[in-house]
C-alpha cells in the first residue's frame, strides 16, 4: 500500500481532472470501474441484460493475477504518449508511478512495476492500461474473429465475457492469454474458467444429463442460475446470505417481486425499477 503525501495527492487529483477530460472520450462503454457517473450497479445491470436478454450460453470468468503489482511502467507511458504529448504532464505521471515507498528507517524503495494502490491516480492509470491492453483488443477480436455474439463487462481489473458459442469462448481465452503475456500480465489459473451459464444453460445441461450450471463471482457478488416455476432467473447473492437461503425463501421472494408491479428489491437498498416482472426473470442484489 502506497500512501501519498498531501502535496502529492493535490497534484495527482489535478492530473485526474486533466486525464478524465481526455480519456472519458476514449474509454469504451463496457468499462465501468472508477469512472464518472458509473458504478458497480451499472456493471451488474450490464451482466444481467447480457445473460437474460442476449444470446449468452457461456461465460469466461477471468482474473488477472496481481494486476496492480505487475503493471508495466514503460508500456503505460507509451500508451499515455498516444494522447498526452506534453512532456511536463508525462513527467508528473511517471513520478507518481515510480515514487516507491519510504521505510521507517528512512530507506527509499523505488517502484519498478505496478501502481501504488493507495494513490488517488492509480485507478485511472489502471483503466488507461487495460483500455489499450484489453478493451480495444477485445472489441476488435469480437468484431473480426467471433462466430457468434460476445459481451464484455469490465470493472477495473475484474471482468467477465459472455459468449453465444463455446468455441468462441475457448479461442478468446487462448488469445487473451497471449495478449496479456505481451504486456507482462497473466491470468490466474485457478480463478479463470469458462463455464456454461445463461438462459439456455440449465435446460441444455439437463437434456445432456449433467448437473446444474456452475456459479461465478464478479465484483463481490455470487451469480447463480436457478429454476423457479418453469423459468430461469439470475440472482446475485452475497456468499454469506447465500448460505442461509433455501427454495422456500426464493419462492416467497418471487411472490414479493410479482406484487411489486414493475420493481425488484435489493436487500438493505432502495427499490429499483425493473421491466416485466411477470416474466419471472429478475435480479436480486444483496449487499
Cell of 265: 428489491
**Structure confidence by residue, pLDDT tens digits, 252-280:** 655 555 554 333 333 323 333 333 333 33
H or E, element range at 116: none
Distance CA(75)–CA(90), nearest Å, equals 13
Among 19, 13, 15, 20, which residue's Cα sits nearest to residue 35?
A: 20
Report the mean per-residue pLDDT for the chain: 80
Q: 23: Cβ–Cβ under 8 A, 6 or more apart, which residues?
A: 83, 124, 127, 128, 131
Among 35, 39, 34, 33, which residue's Cα sits nearest to residue 25?
A: 35
- Among the residue ranges 159-163, 194-198, 203-207, the one predicted with the least confidence is 203-207
Residue showing cell 477480436: 141
H or E, element range at 237: strand 231-237
> Which has the higher per-residue pLDDT, 271 or 108?
108
Distance CA(254)–CA(252), nearest Å, equals 5
Q: Give the confidence band of 96 by pLDDT, cuts at 50, 70, 90.
A: confident
Helical spans, DSSP H, in 117-261: 122-130, 136-144, 166-182, 201-207, 239-242, 247-259
Distance CA(76)–CA(45), nearest Å, equals 30
> Which has the higher per-residue pLDDT, 228 or 270?
228
> Which has the higher per-residue pLDDT, 235 or 19?
19
Task: Give mean pLDDT, residues 67-90.
Answer: 94
- Between strands 266-267 and 285-286, the pairing is parallel
Residue showing cell 453465444: 164
**Is residue 266 classed exposed, middle or buried when 0-12, 13-18 and 19+ CB atoms within 10 A define those classes?**
middle
Q: What is the reported pLDDT for 276?
A: 37
> Which has the higher per-residue pLDDT, 123 or 117?
123
**Does the pLDDT of residue 10 top 60, yes or no?**
yes
Q: What is the reported pLDDT for 217?
A: 85
Task: Give mean pLDDT, residues 51-59.
Answer: 90
> Which has the higher per-residue pLDDT, 103 or 156?
156
**Does the pLDDT of residue 283 top 70, yes or no?**
no
Distance CA(228)–CA(251), nearest Å, equals 8
pTM assigned to the model? 0.77
Among 225, 221, 191, 222, which residue's Cα sits nearest to residue 211?
A: 225
Q: Which residues pair with 225 in a beta bridge?
A: 234
C-beta of residue 164 within 8 angstroms of C-beta of residue 149: yes
Q: Give the confidence band of 240 by pLDDT, cuts at 50, 70, 90.
A: low
Among 27, 33, 26, 284, which residue's Cα sits nearest to residue 159?
A: 33
**Does the pLDDT of residue 106 top 80, yes or no?**
no
Highest mean pLDDT among 1-5, 170-174, 212-216, 221-225: 170-174
**Does the pLDDT of residue 166 top 90, yes or no?**
yes
Among 110, 124, 107, which residue's Cα sits nearest to residue 68?
A: 124
Handedness of CA 258, 260, 264, 268 (dihedral sign): negative
Distance of CA 133 to the CA centre of its chain: 15
Q: Give the confidence band of 219 by pLDDT, cuts at 50, 70, 90.
A: confident
Distance CA(35)–CA(16), nearest Å, equals 11
Amino acid at each position: 500500500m502506497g500512501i501519498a503525501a498531501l502535496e502529492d495527492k493535490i497534484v495527482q487529483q489535478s492530473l485526474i481532472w486533466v486525464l478524465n477530460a481526455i480519456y472519458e472520450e476514449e474509454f469504451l462503454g463496457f468499462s465501468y470501474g472508477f469512472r464518472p457517473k458509473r458504478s458497480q450497479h451499472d456493471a451488474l445491470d450490464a451482466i444481467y441484460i447480457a445473460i437474460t436478454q442476449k444470446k449468452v450460453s457461456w461465460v469466461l470468468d477471468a482474473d488477472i493475477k496481481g494486476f496492480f503489482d505487475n503493471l508495466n511502467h514503460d508500456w503505460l507511458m507509451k500508451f499515455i504518449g498516444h494522447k498526452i504529448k506534453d512532456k511536463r504532464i508525462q513527467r508528473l505521471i511517471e513520478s507518481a508511478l515510480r515514487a516507491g515507498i519510504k521505510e521507517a528507517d528512512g530507506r527509499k524503495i523505488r517502484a519498478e512495476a505496478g501502481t501504488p494502490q493507495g494513490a488517488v491516480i492509480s485507478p485511472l492509470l489502471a483503466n488507461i492500461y487495460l483500455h489499450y491492453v484489453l478493451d480495444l483488443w477485445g472489441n476488435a477480436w469480437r468484431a473480426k474473429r467471433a462466430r457468434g455474439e460476445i459481451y464484455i463487462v469490465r470493472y477495473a481489473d475484474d471482468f467477465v465475457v459472455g459468449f453465444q458459442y463455446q468455441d468462441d469462448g475457448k479461442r478468446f481465452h487462448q488469445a487473451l492469454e497471449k495478449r496479456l503475456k505481451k504486456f507482462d500480465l497473466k491470468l490466474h489459473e485457478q480463478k479463470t474458467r469458462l463455464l456454461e451459464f445463461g438462459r439456455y444453460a440449465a435446460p441444455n445441461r439437463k437434456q445432456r444429463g449433467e448437473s446444474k450450471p456452475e456459479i461465478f463471482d464478479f465484483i463481490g457478488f455470487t451469480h447463480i442460475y436457478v429454476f423457479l416455476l418453469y423459468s430461469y432467473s439470475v440472482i446475485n447473492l452475497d456468499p454469506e446470505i447465500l448460505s442461509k437461503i433455501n427454495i422456500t425463501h426464493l419462492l416467497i421472494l418471487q411472490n414479493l417481486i410479482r406484487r411489486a408491479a414493475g420493481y425488484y428489491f435489493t436487500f438493505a437498498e432502495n427499490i429499483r425499477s425493473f421491466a416485466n416482472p411477470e416474466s419471472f426473470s429478475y435480479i436480486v442484489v444483496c449487499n
